Amino acid sequence: MKQLYIDIGSTYFKVCEAGNIEQHFRNFERNIFDDLRSKCGETIARYAPEAIQICSSANGGLSTLIIGRTYTFSLKYATNIAYNSGINIIDSVLYSKIEQHTPPLGMIDVVIIAGGIDDSANSYDMRLIDYLKKVRYHNIVYAGSAAAAEFMTTHIENVRVMQNIISDKLQLRDEALKNYLTHLYQEDIMGKEEIKSLYALTANHIYPTPYIVNQAMQRIPEYFPVVDPFILVDIGGATTDIHYSRDLIMDNLVSENPYDRLVFKKLGVYKSRENLVFTARNNEYVYELLAYLGVTENILDEKSDKATRILMQLSIFLVLYKVSLHHNRYVNLYLEKLNSIVLTGGITKVLSLEECEQIVGFFYKKLLHFHQIPTIIMDSDYMIWTMSMKESSHVG
């Protein structure tokens, strides 16, 4: 059966039919469903709902609040699972500091509570319950010590208790929570009416785009000349996703997943442009970098094409900066070991390979004192996304 693949992004739609990709900027005046139908209605009408595969990263994905007992285990494990499930984290709280923590203002899609191996009694108390009263959320799950499950069900309404993400040997156990999080997207309880309406078009599950891509990472070397360890950087309109080989990190987290995902919520060039500019201005290398690119600081206030290109280059730089040593609490990548960087997403349509090499070159020379840079591969035709969709439709 011929398949039609559709990706709903924060900034544009992509539709792939028999290997040809059409791309449309989204019209935010209309809801997703009507917008999609007005632009690709004819194409869609030619396919049965069973042959239509949709994935989405619209609305920035799900928002999460993670409450855990330590940075090394519960918070790190839950964060890892959430990212790999396609979630864009909002916030995390270390339980010992919960009384000082200001609860997030907006509505949270899912609160995740973790901590402790199953027989650890050292657990949560009423401080948790008091804090939760100040948080607005749709869903709440408990994936911590079995010893505290009863406390949770007694005090938290509608809490869903699932398998502990920390095994008795202190290792990561991700199946149950990962399953739950990827399915949240598909459940009505989400309350994201816009996404829900898309089920009128397809008989298949709608997965988060980053989850689909992460699942297909292992096959990328079959399609592109990449050499492990590599990273995939997807700079979109609202967020920037990075999928990286676990060979690039050294930490206690033992997982079966050879590639993990990390997301920076506010480094996109369209929807989160202001934040990107703000982050750039506060970076210690920014002036040197702008001079190296032959422009002045004023470019950051412009709205021209040239300004967009510079911002895209800056976002590549900032992503590398943020994942390199000592700039990130959650994970540090040993970029010295990196062999290839694959770039995908909107930027590959705008920047040339030379412009990408220029900026990566600056990073490697200036920050790592390297003369050679990893090979850069541009996924300009969204091959990775198409391949990921194909893979997931076989499995699903």
Partner 1 sequence: MMKVVTGVVGNDIHVVANRLIDISLQERGFEVFNLGVNTYLEEFIDAVIETDAKVLLISSLNGEAEGWCRDLSLLKSQYELEGVVFMIGGNLSVGEDNPDVIIPKFKRYGFDLVFHQSDLGIGLDTLEAYLKEHV
For partner 1, which is the closer residue by CB, 28 or 71? 71
For partner 1, which is the closer residue by CB, 2 or 169? 169
The piece of 164-172, 210-218, 323-331, 351-359 that touches partner 1 (CB under 8 A) is 164-172
The piece of 67-75, 152-160, 216-224, 236-244 that touches partner 1 (CB under 8 A) is 67-75
Among the listed residues 29, 99, 119, 256, the single contact to partner 1 using CB under 8 A: 119
Q: Is 70 in the site for partner 1 (CB under 8 A)?
A: yes
Among the listed residues 170, 189, 203, 325, the single contact to partner 1 using CB under 8 A: 170
Q: Is 116 in the site for partner 1 (CB under 8 A)?
A: yes
| b/e map 7-42, b = 16+ CB within 10 Å | bbbbbbbbbbbeeeeeeeebeeeeebbebbbebbee
# residues contacting partner 1 (CB under 8 A): 19
Closest CA to 103 of 124, 75, 128: 128
Region 250-279 residues binding partner 1, contact defined as CB under 8 A = 250, 252
For partner 1, which is the closer residue by CB, 197 or 332? 332
Q: Is 120 in the site for partner 1 (CB under 8 A)?
A: yes
What's the closest the beta carbon of residue 337 comes to partner 1, in angstroms?
17
Region 335-394 residues binding partner 1, contact defined as CB under 8 A = none
Amino acid identity at 346: G
Residue 342: count of CB within 10 angstroms of its CB: 25
Q: Is 85 in the site for partner 1 (CB under 8 A)?
A: no
The piece of 56-64, 71-79, 98-106, 363-371 that touches partner 1 (CB under 8 A) is 71-79
Closest CA to 112 of 79, 61, 67: 67
Q: Is 328 in the site for partner 1 (CB under 8 A)?
A: no
The piece of 21-29, 116-124, 293-301, 326-334 that touches partner 1 (CB under 8 A) is 116-124
Region 224-253 residues binding partner 1, contact defined as CB under 8 A = 250, 252
Among the listed residues 25, 41, 48, 71, the single contact to partner 1 using CB under 8 A: 71
Q: Is 96 in the site for partner 1 (CB under 8 A)?
A: yes
Among the listed residues 27, 31, 38, 122, the single contact to partner 1 using CB under 8 A: 122
Q: Is 142 in the site for partner 1 (CB under 8 A)?
A: no
Q: Is 121 in the site for partner 1 (CB under 8 A)?
A: yes
For partner 1, which is the closer residue by CB, 117 or 181? 117
What's the closest the beta carbon of residue 250 comes to partner 1, in angstroms?
8
For partner 1, which is the closer residue by CB, 92 or 182? 92
Instruction: In whole angstroms, give the CA distance from residue 29 to residue 22.
Output: 21
For partner 1, which is the closer residue by CB, 115 or 208? 115
What's the closest the beta carbon of residue 380 comes to partner 1, in angstroms?
41
Task: Work out whether strand 137-142 and strand 259-264 pair parallel, antiparallel, or are unpaired.
Answer: unpaired
Judge contact between 346 and 269, C-beta under 8 A: yes
The piece of 117-125, 181-189, 306-314, 382-390 that touches partner 1 (CB under 8 A) is 117-125
3-state SS of the chain is CCCEEEEECCCEEEEEECCEEEEEECCCCCCHHHHHHHHHHHHHHCCCHHHEEEEECHHHCCCEEEEECCHHHHHHHHHHHHHHCCCCCCEEEEHHHHHHCCCCCCCEEEEEECCCCCCCCCCCCHHHHHHHCCCCEEEEEECCCHHHHHHHHHHCCCCEECCCCECCCCCECCHHHHHHHHHHCCCHHHCCHHHHHHHHCCCCCCEEHHHHHHHHHHHHHHHCCCCCCEEEEEECCCCEEEEEEHHHCCCCCCCCCCEEEEEECCCCCCCCHHHHHHHHHCCCCHHHHHHHCCCCHHHHHCCCHHHHHHHHHHHHHHHHHHHCCCCCCCCCCCHHHCCEEEEECCHHHHCCHHHHHHHHHHHHHHCCCCCCCCEEEECCCCHHHHHHHHHHHHHC
For partner 1, which is the closer residue by CB, 70 or 358? 70
Q: Is 117 in the site for partner 1 (CB under 8 A)?
A: yes
Q: Is 124 in the site for partner 1 (CB under 8 A)?
A: no
Residues forming contacts to partner 1 in the complex (CB under 8 A) are 69-74, 96, 115-117, 119-122, 166, 169-170, 250, 252
